[in-house]
């Protein structure tokens, strides 16, 4: 018998965080880049501006109970009574699971037990250019509206977070409260497969740029590119549609770019300036598969197979147009036009940004939507993931968690 394990933690909606106020929603954020520091007065001004934005949206929160500010997180180990009808319980691992023999049977049981979860798929999902600074660059950037780093945590082997450093200029308890940081980390830990987090995520980063800007990102650690940092905007954190979609999308980056899929290229030189691309590294020059930016993908890696099947015939055209752009605005315009030209190839406009964003957002559609039966290239991209049993197990886990959330 084929056992699909579903580690289902109970997620409970708790009291309204009254000081946090407003309804907040966001799309996916780009990986963070370095930025300059600001004075304590600038950091204080930014906190005031963020708080004002949140106060202004407090009225909206009253009519939007699913907003991020209205949700805090808690969980408990599974007991037999926590399982859905149709699930079995493993008393040793304390998990609920679906038992089935074939993919068709498993998907049919999953749909019957967990139901439709399309509500968590954001049809307008898109990226932005807001990039949180690192602590090494100071408390925040000098420009108005620059994201504020709040705290950075180490993730230990038990998936507990341990404070490494915090921004002493951030004193507002709505942002600085460690218990709120732990609740947000719990949301990540309860939704996403723990074995992947244990293997690949080494840091948790809390920041804010106010509502409706950057929501979350992942990036390899500079000092250890085999591990990843997971960053979340404290203002936007909550089990909203865009929060869930973004977490799954960012998790897709980790799954498809982790060290066993794409060995990190430690020979890549630093760019001569912020506006210039670095020279190709020796690894990039010799790469015979798809070079992701993080490294040269293994031949049998998810992203190399995805690239060879869905991008190899259009990548030269894509790169020619991409290299001709001279600003973020021009690049955004180019990718929008590229999407319009090849719309049947992509699950979203944002997926046309590059192969890495394409596979990550297609992964989100794989997790959050039912199995497609269409014959477009976009549908074939979603079906691509079903050939890999580890990815199907991840999908089942996350859908079970979301179904559990809906049941509370």
Is residue 101 in some structural domain?
no
What is the maximal distance between C-alpha atoms in the chain? 63
**In angstroms, how far is the first alpha carbon of the chain from the final one?**
31
Between these two residues, 96 and 364, which has the higher pLDDT value?
364
Residues 6 or more apart from 285 whose CB is under 8 A from it? none
Among the candidates 219, 234, 261, a domain finishes at: 261
Give the structural domain span for 232.
21-67+123-261
Residues 63 and 131 occupy one common structural domain: yes
Residues 205 and 316 occupy one common structural domain: no
Write out the DSSP string of 348-381.
STGGGG-HHHHHHHHHHHHHHSPPP---SHHHHH
Asked if 105 contacts 121 with a C-beta cutoff of 8 angstroms, the reply is no
Residues 35 and 131 occupy one common structural domain: yes
Token output for 74: 């808690």
Residues 236 and 315 occupy one common structural domain: no
Residues 34 and 134 occupy one common structural domain: yes
Q: What pLDDT score was predicted for residue 213?
A: 78
Please report where in the chains the tokens 């190899």 appear, as a residue.
312
Identify the band that residue 44 occupies on the pLDDT scale cut at 50, 70 and 90.
very low
Is residue 382 in some structural domain?
yes
Residues 330 and 354 occupy one common structural domain: yes
Is residue 98 in some structural domain?
no
pLDDT in tens, 274-317: 667 778 999 999 999 999 999 999 999 999 999 999 999 999 99
Among the candidates 211, 244, 261, a domain finishes at: 261
Closest by CA position to 245, among listed 119, 75, 65, 115: 119
Sheet harboring 88-90: ordered strands across? 2-6, 95-100, 88-90
How far apart, in whole angstroms, are the C-alpha atoms of residue 133 and residue 146? 8
pLDDT in tens, 184-236: 999 999 899 999 999 999 999 999 988 877 899 999 998 999 999 999 999 98
Q: What pLDDT score was predicted for residue 77?
A: 61
pLDDT in tens, 156-185: 999 999 999 999 999 999 899 999 999 999
DSSP state, 345? G
Residues 191 and 272 occupy one common structural domain: no
How far apart, in whole angstroms, are the C-alpha atoms of residue 88 and residue 61? 38
Residues 41 and 183 occupy one common structural domain: yes
- Count of beta carbons in the 10 Å neighbourhood of residue 199: 16
Residues 193 and 132 occupy one common structural domain: yes
Three-state SS at 163: strand
Is residue 39 in some structural domain?
yes
């Amino acid at each position: 018998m084929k056992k699909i394990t579903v580690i289902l933690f109970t997620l409970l909606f708790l009291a309204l965080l009254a000081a946090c106020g407003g309804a907040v929603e966001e799309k996916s954020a780009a990986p963070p880049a370095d930025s300059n520091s600001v004075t304590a007065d600038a950091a204080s001004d930014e906190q005031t501006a963020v708080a004002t934005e949140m106060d202004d949206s407090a009225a909206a929160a009253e009519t939007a109970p699913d907003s991020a500010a209205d949700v805090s997180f808690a969980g408990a180990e599974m007991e037999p009574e926590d399982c859905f009808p149709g699930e079995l319980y493993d008393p040793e691992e304390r998990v609920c699971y679906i038992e089935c023999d074939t993919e068709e049977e498993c998907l049919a049981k999953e749909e019957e037990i967990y139901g439709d979860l399309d509500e968590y798929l954001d049809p307008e999902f898109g990226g932005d250019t807001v990039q949180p600074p690192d602590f090494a660059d100071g408390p925040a950037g000098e420009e108005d509206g620059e994201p504020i780093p709040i705290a950075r945590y180490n993730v230990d082997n038990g998936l507990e977070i341990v404070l490494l450093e915090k921004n002493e200029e951030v004193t507002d308890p709505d942002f600085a409260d460690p218990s709120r940081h732990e609740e947000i980390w719990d949301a990540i830990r309860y939704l996403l497969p723990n074995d992947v987090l244990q293997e690949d995520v080494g840091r948790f980063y809390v920041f804010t740029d106010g509502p409706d800007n950057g929501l979350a990102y992942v990036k390899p650690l500079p000092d250890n590119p085999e591990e990843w940092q997971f960053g979340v905007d404290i203002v936007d954190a909550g089990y909203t549609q865009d929060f869930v979609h973004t977490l799954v999308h960012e998790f897709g980056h980790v799954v498809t770019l982790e060290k066993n899929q794409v060995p990190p290229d430690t020979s890549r030189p630093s760019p001569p300036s912020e506006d210039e691309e670095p020279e190709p590294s020796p690894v990039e020059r010799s790469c015979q598969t798809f070079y992701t930016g993080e490294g040269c993908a293994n031949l049998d890696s998810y992203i190399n197979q995805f690239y060879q099947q869905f991008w190899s015939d259009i990548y030269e055209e894509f790169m020619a147009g991409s290299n001709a752009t001279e600003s973020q605005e021009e690049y955004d315009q180019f990718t929008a036009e590229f999407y319009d030209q090849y719309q049947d190839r992509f699950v979203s406009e944002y997926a046309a940004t590059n192969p890495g964003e394409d596979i990550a957002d297609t992964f989100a559609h794989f997790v959050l939507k039912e199995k497609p039966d269409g014959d477009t290239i976009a549908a074939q991209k979603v079906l691509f993931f079903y050939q890999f049993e580890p990815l199907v197990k991840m999908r089942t886990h996350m859908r079970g968690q979301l179904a559990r959330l809906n049941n509370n």
